[in-house]
Amino acid sequence: MVDLRPSFKRKLAGWGLIAFGVLGVILPFLHGMIFLLLGVFMLRQQYVWAHNALGPLQRRFPAMMAKMDGMETRFIAWGRRQLARLPSSSARNR
């Protein structure tokens, strides 16, 4: 059973990456497959089909998928730290 964690931001980012991937397949200067894979990776906790699409990669490259999960965790933590460093809206209005 897949543990789905719905998130509007992740869906928006994942579908945006997939849109870039489709453009990349058409346009010669974008690498479409990279964007498509990143989009499906972002959507893996949102949709069952995305989780199933990454199944063969998980079985073939378990260490690489674990590294990607770790990178994602570190990137999210970094983003939260950067947001915490921003001045609050009440401090900007003073």
Tens of pLDDT, residues 19-52? 999 998 888 888 888 899 889 988 988 899 988 9
Q: What are phi and psi of 77, to 5 degrees?
A: -65, -40
Residues 25 and 47 in one domain: yes
**pLDDT > 60? residue 89:** no
* pTM > 0.85: yes or no: no
More confident: 72 or 94: 72
Residues 13 and 49 in one domain: yes
CA distance 94 to 92: 6
CA-closest candidate to residue 44, choices 92, 89, 9, 6: 6
Domain that holds residue 71: 61-85
Q: Would residue 69 count as lying in a domain?
A: yes
| Weakest-pLDDT range from 5-9, 49-53, 78-82, 83-87 | 5-9
Q: Would residue 16 count as lying in a domain?
A: yes
Residues 34 and 12 in one domain: yes
- For residue 86, the one-letter residue type is L
DSSP state of 30: S
Residues 31 and 68 in one domain: no
Residues 47 and 77 in one domain: no
Residues 39 and 65 in one domain: no
CA distance 27 to 57: 26
